[in-house]
Chains A and B, each alone.
Chain A
Amino acid sequence: MGALKEKVLTLNVSHADQPAIDAAMKRGVWSRLPKALSMGPDALIEEIKKSGLRGRGGAGFPAGVKWSFMPKQPVKPSYLVVNADESEPGTFKDRLLMERDPHLCLEGFLLGAWAIRASAVFIYIRGEFVAGWKALDRAIAEARSKGFIGKNVLKSGWDVDVILHRGAGAYICGEETALMESLEGKRGYPRLKPPFPAAHGVYGNPTTINNVETLACVPHIVERGAEWFASIGREKNTGPKLYCLSGHVKRPGVYEAELGVPFETLFEEMGGGLLDPSRRLQAVIPGGSSAAVMTPAECAGLTMDFDSLAAKGSLLGSAGVMIMDDSVCMVRACERVLKFYAHESCGQCTPCRIGADWIHRIVARIEAGGGTPEDPGTLMSVCDGMVGKTICVFADAAAIPAKSFVTKFRDAFDEHIMRRACPLLLAPAGARG
C-alpha cells in the first residue's frame, strides 16, 4: 500500500495551462461548486466529517468538526481564513498547488466558505510567494468574472468576497491567531485561546482557519463522496496526502501518496533513496523542523500518518520530510534547526524569547568546541522551562526537536564536548561530505 491508484490533488499540476480558468474548467475544476451549493452548508459539513479529512497544516484536526464550531445563526459576518503562510522548514506543498492549480485551491476555498456561511475569504499568503500570489490574484479575477465569487454566487443568494493578503516574512504568522493579528495590520503576536477563532476571530468575528491543502481536498470529496475519500489511507488517517521530500534524497520534491504511506515506500521508491548511495541514512525529520528527529531504526516499518508518528513521539506535522545521511554533524544540524527558532520567536512570551535563543547558543557553543559537560543537562532543563509555558506552541516547536537531537544523538554532543571541537572538522580534509 501507499501509492495512489491515481493522483488527486496533483493530477493537473503538470499541465502548463492549468492556472487559466478555461483549461481548469475543462478538467473539472469549479464543477463541484454548484453541487455543494445545492447540498447546503450543513450537508457539506456532514460529508466532510464522514470523509475523515484532517487538517493538513500540521495539527491534523478534523476539518468538518472545526467547521461545525461556527455559529449556525450568525449575528455577525463569519470569515474563512486560508492559511497559505507555508513556512515550516521542509515544507513546499501548498506552494505547488497555488502556483500550478490555483483554481482548484480557490474552488476549495469557496466550498469551505460556503460550509461556514462566510461572507469573506481572506487568503493569507507568505510575502515571499510572489508567483503563488500572482497566480491566485489572476484566478480570483477570472472566477469573479464567471460569477463564482461576488454577489449572489451562481444565483444561490450567497454573497462572498475573496481578499488576497500578502504577508511580509514572519514564520509565526503561520500560527492561526498570529495570522489574524497580522491580517488586522499588527505585529504577528499570537493571541491567548480561548476565546477560539470560531467565537472571536478576525475583527472579533467568527472565523475558521484552514490550510490550503486541506481545502483543496474538499472539491474532490464533494465530487466523489466521503466514502471514496475514507477508503484511501488508514483508519482515522484518510485521503491523499502531499509529502515534501528534501535533503539528502536522490529525487527531492512533492509526492502525493495515501496518508499513511510507509516511510520506505516514500523514501526509497518515490524519492529514489539516498542522494549518495555510498552513504548511510543517519536521521530523518518527518514533519517539518518542529517535529522530533528520528533515527533510521525508528523509521523502520513506520507509516507516515498523524497517529503513527504521534505514537513514536514525533509529528507528521506539515509532512516536510528531511533526510540526512551520515556526512552530517548532528550537533551542527541541531544548531541549524535551533537558529531558525531563535530568529523566528516573536518575543511575546519570556520562556520562548529567552529560551529559544538560549538553547541555540548552548548548541552553537558545543559545535564550536566550547561546550562543557553540564551543557546538555542545562539545555534539557531550559527546554522543560519552555514546553507548555507560553501563549502559543512555538516554544514547544523549538524545545521538542532540541531535546530529541540531544537525546537521540547524545554521543555526538558528548564527543564534541570531550574533544573540544567538531569531530567532522578534525577529520582529514575530504572526509567531510
Chain B
Amino acid sequence: MSGPLLRVGVRFAPSARDLSAEALGKIDEAIARYPEKRSALLPALWIAQQEQGYCAPRAQEQIAQKIGVSPAFVASVVSFYTMYHTQPVGRHVIDVCTTVSCWLRGSDALVGHLEKTLGIRVGETTADGRFTLRTVECLGSCGTAPMCQIGDDYHEDLTHDRIDAVLEGLR
C-alpha cells in the first residue's frame, strides 16, 4: 500500500534520471487541456511511465513541481493505482486476468503455464529483464476468456499454444 520512499538528493540509477524535455512538454500540453492543473496528474504519470518504464521518484518530483503539489501527494496517488509501477519492471509486463469469468475458463492453468515457461513466479521478472508476470483483476474481456494484457495489447481466447506464440514474438 505504501508509496516509494522519496530520497531527495540521493542519486541512484536509473530513478534519478530527469524526464526528457519532450516528456515535460507533453506534460505541459496535458496541463493545458484541463480547467484545473491537478487533473493532469494521472496523464503526467502516464507520460513519465511511458518514457522511463515506471514512475520513478525523480520523475514524481518533477511532476509534483509542474502540477503544484507535494511529492508526497504524487506518491500517494501513484500507490493508489495498479497500473503505475513504482519499481523498474520487465520490458513486457504480462497481466493475466484471474477474476471470475477468466477463472471459470482456465486462468489458473494459464498462470501455471506462464510460471513454468518463464521460470518465474507471479510478481517476478525474468533474469534477462524481458518479462514481468502479474495477475490482475477483471480487464473487461470476460467473453474472450482466458486473456491477458501485455503492454497496450489484449490477447484473448488464450490457449497455451497461443500464449507461447505471443511470447515468441516479443523480444
Footprint of B on A, CB under 8 Å? 77, 86-92, 95, 120, 126-131, 163, 165-171, 182-188, 203, 244-248, 252-254, 285, 289, 320, 322-324, 328, 333, 336-337, 340, 343-344, 346-347
When C-beta atoms are compared, the residue in chain B nearest to A120 turns out to be B35
B42 contacts partner chain A, Cβ-Cβ < 8 Å:
yes
- Residues 68-105 (chain B) with a chain A CB within 8 angstroms: 69, 76-77, 80-84, 95, 98-101, 103-105
Contact residues in A for B138 (Cβ distance below 8 Å): 87-91, 171, 340
3 nearest CB pairs, A to B = A185-B41, A168-B81, A169-B83
Contact residues in B for A346 (Cβ distance below 8 Å): 80
Q: Can you list 16 A-B pairs with a CB-CB distance of less than 8 A?
A: A87-B138, A91-B140, A127-B81, A128-B149, A131-B152, A131-B154, A166-B43, A170-B80, A171-B137, A186-B38, A203-B36, A246-B104, A246-B142, A285-B100, A323-B104, A344-B137
Contact of B100 among A77, A337, A347 (CB under 8 A): A337
Contact residues in A for B34 (Cβ distance below 8 Å): 163
Closest beta carbon of chain B to A338's beta carbon, Å? 11
When C-beta atoms are compared, the residue in chain A nearest to B39 turns out to be A185
Contact residues in A for B45 (Cβ distance below 8 Å): 168
Contact residues in A for B144 (Cβ distance below 8 Å): 252
How many interface residues does chain B have, given as a range? 35 or more
Identify 18 new A-B residue pairs, CB closer than 8 A, beyond the known A86-B140, A120-B35, A322-B142. A77-B35, A87-B140, A90-B101, A90-B142, A92-B140, A131-B154, A166-B43, A168-B82, A168-B83, A185-B40, A185-B69, A203-B36, A247-B100, A289-B100, A322-B104, A337-B100, A340-B100, A343-B137
| A405 to B90 alpha-carbon distance, docked (Å) | 39
A169-B81 in contact given A131-B154, A244-B143, A347-B1 (Cβ < 8 Å): yes
| A244 to B101 alpha-carbon distance, docked (Å) | 11
When C-beta atoms are compared, the residue in chain A nearest to B41 turns out to be A185
Closest beta carbon of chain B to A134's beta carbon, Å? 8
B23 contacts partner chain A, Cβ-Cβ < 8 Å:
no
| A87 to B154 alpha-carbon distance, docked (Å) | 15
B143 touches A252 (CB 8 A): yes
Contact residues in A for B36 (Cβ distance below 8 Å): 184-185, 203
Closest beta carbon of chain A to B1's beta carbon, Å? 7
| A171 to B136 alpha-carbon distance, docked (Å) | 11
B139 contacts partner chain A, Cβ-Cβ < 8 Å:
yes
Closest beta carbon of chain B to A158's beta carbon, Å? 18
A92 touches B1 (CB 8 A): no
Footprint of A on B, CB under 8 Å? 1, 33-36, 38-43, 45-46, 67, 69, 76-77, 80-84, 95, 98-101, 103-105, 136-145, 149, 152-154
Closest beta carbon of chain B to A205's beta carbon, Å? 9
Closest beta carbon of chain A to B57's beta carbon, Å? 18
| A337 to B67 alpha-carbon distance, docked (Å) | 38
B82 touches A244 (CB 8 A): no
Interface centre among B41, B101, B145 (most CB of A within 10 A): B101
Contact of B46 among A90, A168, A170, A182 (CB under 8 A): A168
Contact residues in B for A86 (Cβ distance below 8 Å): 140
A126-B104 in contact given A168-B42, A185-B77 (Cβ < 8 Å): no
Contact residues in B for A92 (Cβ distance below 8 Å): 140-143
B39 touches A184 (CB 8 A): yes
When C-beta atoms are compared, the residue in chain B nearest to A433 turns out to be B104
B42 touches A185 (CB 8 A): yes
